[in-house]
Amino acid sequence: MNIQDKLLNNLSNHYLNTAIKKVVRNLQILPKEVMQSGDDSPLNNVWDEIYLQVQQEYFLSWKLYEEMIRNICIDKNGTVTKETWRKVLRNRLY
């Protein structure tokens, strides 16, 4: 891997990590009413629900979670955020 590839890889990793942190943070602050696990759940937020599903198995509401994540990656004007595009580009380059 040459120096340009390393720099591009480092830059894309930085933007991907930033995008991931933004999505996780936004899922953590969603109101508890959005949670699908019920009032008696020991989980604290939507992110905890999604994290658990990925670790175990998807609930019937998985499509709803995908839509929430997609909405977080889209800005108020309906365009895909730069972080999302960078993630896509990174996945296609490496």
Q: What is the pLDDT of residues 65-82, one digit of tens each?
A: 778 777 776 665 555 566
**In the chain, where are the structural domains located?**
3-93
Asked if the model's pLDDT at residue 55 lies above 70, the reply is yes
Q: Is 51 left (phi over 0), alpha (psi -120 to 50) or beta?
A: alpha
Asked if the model's pLDDT at residue 91 lies above 70, the reply is no
Is the whole model's pTM more than 0.75, yes or no? no
Question: What integer is the mean pLDDT of 47-52?
Answer: 87
Which is more confident, 42 or 15? 42
Spell out the residues 6+ positions from residue 93 whose beta carbon is closer than 8 angstroms to its own: 8, 12
